[in-house]
Amino acid sequence: MPGVNEINLKVNVTYGDAMLNDEASPETAVTLFVFWGIILPLIATVGLIGNILTIIVLWRKEMSSTTILYLRGLVVTDTGILVGSVLALTPISCANYLRGDALLYFKDTVYPVLHTPAYYIVMTLQQCNVWITVSVSMERYIAICHPFRAARLISRRKTVIVMVIIAVVSLLYNIPHLFASEATPCTSQLATVGAVACLMVGTTYFGNTDVYKIYRTVMYTIVIYVIPFAALLILNSFLIKELMTMQRRRSGTNIHEENEANLSLVLVLIVIVFIFCQTPGLISQFDVISIDDFFGWLAVSNLLFAINSAVNFLIYTAFGRKFRKVLLRIFRHVFNKNRSLSQSSYR
């Protein structure tokens, strides 16, 4: 997650090779409070409701294709990212602006302890999410552009293996983050007035090494952005081209091809939103933003990161025919069941 390591505004914030000593300006505190303290929880709440409904639909027996397996992985990681984003960003942004006793206690005591494991979990979820998106794009590319090879190359077993590999590699790849920061006692200048104890997120010796800095910036950019973005752009360009061809010869298209095309359209839209929401995070990896604008950009990029994990339900509902049918069937079943129960209670 871009910028999570720079969220605690009470500690030094790395900006390129410069160090921002952080008591953030009042303007910065207001900006982060608006984006992360107000807008982010609202988006996360709506997104979690949508993701729960998505989970209910995607785990139905009639939703059992290999693509659906990938989409299940996406919704699980999306849900984790939304929860992690709120826990990592909302309390600390509220504490720096509202400064209530409970919030300051969280900021000075709880947050520094939770920061390192929470950062590891969110980074792992992001990597899983990115590479599941790439994998399902590859699966759709094979199914649509090379249908005669699909039966040999695509199977539920292979899909499960791919997702397990993604999860294991993501868990292992992000382990260095666990050794890069730790909770340390505050200096007297940074201690909150009246606080019983004060901790801050400090950088370890390993976190200050060039090896970790290269891993956190260069490797992160390559693994999370450059390679996935290149793969998604290439695969989805071929997909869009083939979908347009199928649209032109629609009169001769059978039901199976229509369903495959619709599923691929949904995926293309997911990828477009994904690239749009992730690109600001990519830009923030480079020293192209002035220090004055850094926190504003950080606020927007992290918010878009959360939005990406909250909007897939809307795409499924608006453009996924089968998803919409199953969802309506579930709503009708619940409505009819509640109506029959209410009618029986009056008898």
Model confidence at 292: pLDDT above 50: yes
Give the β-pairing of 181-185 and 199-203.
Answer: antiparallel
pLDDT confidence band for 54 (50 / 70 / 90) = very high
Show the CA angle centred on residue 25, arms to residues 23 and 28, nearest 5°.
110
**Mean of pLDDT over the chain:** 84
pLDDT confidence band for 2 (50 / 70 / 90) = very low
The 10s digit of each residue's pLDDT in 219-267 is 999 999 999 999 999 999 999 998 888 777 765 556 777 778 888 889 9
Which range of 129-138, 248-257, 270-279 scores highest in mean pLDDT? It is 129-138
Model confidence at 15: pLDDT above 90: no
pLDDT at 6: 38
pLDDT confidence band for 340 (50 / 70 / 90) = low
Tokens of 210: 């060039």
pTM of the predicted model over 0.75: yes
Model confidence at 280: pLDDT above 50: yes
pLDDT at 191: 54
Q: Are 149 and 142 in contact (CB under 8 A)?
A: yes
pLDDT confidence band for 5 (50 / 70 / 90) = very low
Model confidence at 91: pLDDT above 60: yes
Mean pLDDT in residue range 177-193: 76
Q: Are 298 and 13 in contact (CB under 8 A)?
A: no
pLDDT confidence band for 81 (50 / 70 / 90) = very high
Q: Which of 90, 84, 92, 93 is nearest to 123 (CA)?
A: 84
The neighbouring-strand residues paired with 185 are 199
> How close are the terminal C-alpha atoms of the chain, in Å?
56
Domains and CATH numbers, the chain: 4-336 (1.20.1070.10)
Model confidence at 16: pLDDT above 50: no
Task: Tell me the three-class secondary structure of the chain, residue by residue.
Answer: CCCHHHCCCCCCEEECCEEECCCCCHHHHHHHHHHHHHHHHHHHHHHHHHHHHHHHHHCCCCCCCHHHHHHHHHHHHHHHHHHHHHHHHHHHHHHHHHCCHHHHHHHHHHHHHHHHHHHHHHHHHHHHHHHHHHHHHHHHHHHHHCHHHHHHHCCHHHHHHHHHHHHHHHHHHCHHHHHCEEEEECCCCCCCCCCCCCEEEEECCHHHCHHHHHHHHHHHHHHHHHHHHHHHHHHHHHHHHHHHHHHHCHHHCCHHHHHHHHHHHHHHHHHHHHHHHHHHHHHCCCCCCCHHHHHHHHHHHHHHHHHHCCCHHHHHHHHCHHHHHHHHHHHHHHHHHHHHHHHHHCC
Q: Are 107 and 26 in contact (CB under 8 A)?
A: no
